[in-house]
Amino acid sequence: MRNWIRFPHQEGKVSRQAHADLPEEAPYEREAGRSGFFGPATHFHHRHPPTAWTNWDGPLRPRAFDLNRLSLCKSSPFDAPLVLHNPCCQYRIWQCEGAMPHLVRNADGDDLLFVHQGQGALFCDYGHLTVHEGDYLVIPRGTQWRLEPERTMTLLLIEATQDSYQLPDKGVLGPHAIFDPMMLDVPEINPEFLAQQDEREWRVQVKKQNALSWITYPFNPLDALGWHGDLSVVRINWRDIRPVASHRYHLPPSAHSTFVAARFVVCTFVPRPIESDPGALKVPFFHNNDDFDEVIFYHQGNFFSRDNIGPGMVTFHPSGFTHGPHPKAFAAGQAHARKDTDEVAVMVDTRDPLEVGPDACQVEWVEYAQSWSQAE
């Protein structure tokens, strides 16, 4: 536990409650915080939007990528375009058109798969599982697996490099909030799994320290007849997530945490009621979260704090500057123009700076940094 220097203090015109009842003459609240949304923080009240810049030069900038324009079809997830990465996380997008002709095993860390489009069957050491659009799949490090799509599947892949995925601490909400662990599905040793076992030659592609090796077997190594224990592939769909909401207070993204690793967190934004209290902020607050890089993948719906961002796109806000809602979204929030959100998005916040892969640079919306002024 870190012993932060803390001294609650106020200067000038302020609201007593963060994210609510903002001063009329300074309606643009900006949060400067540490350790995500869990450390010391200060809330500034500005006359002008902190994102109302007129020009941007240099390598640090907000960035957006249209992953729909990438060539995604690869026979292996390890060949999928590397969108973003750092020593603790690899972030890829992959399209699987047909049954994988071999197995894969990641020896570098756990994988989290999010099914953006399509459906099919997962076969792995633990058995068979039918997967659909909107599913999360946590695949423990070292697991052998393959997919058999019923129709083309597009998947977001997030590797916890040299790490593992765990569930977030839900604190006073209790362990059954957001989703009950009983909602986690596991693969089955069922007729479909037994039917795929055969005596022909199979190959397993193994990734270790980002180098690929091949292991050949004279039989299908997915030949288990049973298993017992508490380590397995698990699945949950975003539709099974029951978001925390408050009609009087805009909750920070950390309230929507779904999975955590040691150096990053995965949050899921799903449809929820928008705050109804007259004084409550109704869109994400402006913030410079200087300890984390923020990445959001847009799955479906109309993301209520952004303009011109659609499904299959990714925004990347590295730490070091203030970001927040576009002007139209902020104005709509002040007018309480919407009563509910309909967005579904996957957010990753990383403690370590991310680098952009060369494939992502080819599909970048280069004017994104100016979109806060274009949205006027």
250 is catalytic: yes
CB–CB of 70/81 below 8 Å? yes
| Whole-angstrom distance, CA of residue 185 vs CA of residue 234 | 5
| Whole-angstrom distance, CA of residue 90 vs CA of residue 348 | 11
> 287 labelled as ligand-binding?
yes
| Dihedral (CA of 180, 314, 326, 351) sign | positive
CB–CB of 313/47 below 8 Å? no
> 352 labelled as ligand-binding?
no
Helix (H) or strand (E) holding 332: helix 327-334
> 326 labelled as ligand-binding?
no
Which candidate in 19, 85, 128, 250 is catalytic? 250
**What is the separation of C-alpha 298 from the centre of its chain, rounded to a whole number of angstroms?**
9
| Dihedral (CA of 153, 158, 162, 166) sign | negative
Q: List Cβ neighbours of 51 (8 Å cut-off, separation of 6 or more).
A: 286, 322, 323, 324, 372
Numbered residues of the known binding site for homogentisate: 323
Q: Which residues are catalytic?
A: 250
Numbered residues of the known binding site for Fe cation: 287, 293, 323
Numbered residues of the known binding site: 287, 293, 323
